[in-house]
Amino acid sequence: MRAPRAADTDWPMIVALYDALIQIAPTPVVELNRAVAVSMAYGPEEALPVVDALRDAPALKNYH
């Protein structure tokens, strides 16, 4: 919220926070949001396997 642009965001910290959230709320939506953070932190090639693993998740079938 404080970063003036996305490039100034501490994306690795956000990934770490999503890792912690997954421990208490392991849902496909949380994992998908984590994949976005992974992509921003480490590049899309790191996030695509996460997204691919979620492809058939019933909770995401009608998710935007």
What's the number of CA atoms in the CB half-sphere (13 Å) around residue 28?
14
Is the per-residue pLDDT at 1 higher than 70? no
| pLDDT tens per residue, range 7-62 | 789 999 999 999 999 999 999 999 999 999 999 999 999 999 999 999 999 989 88
pTM of the full structure: 0.85
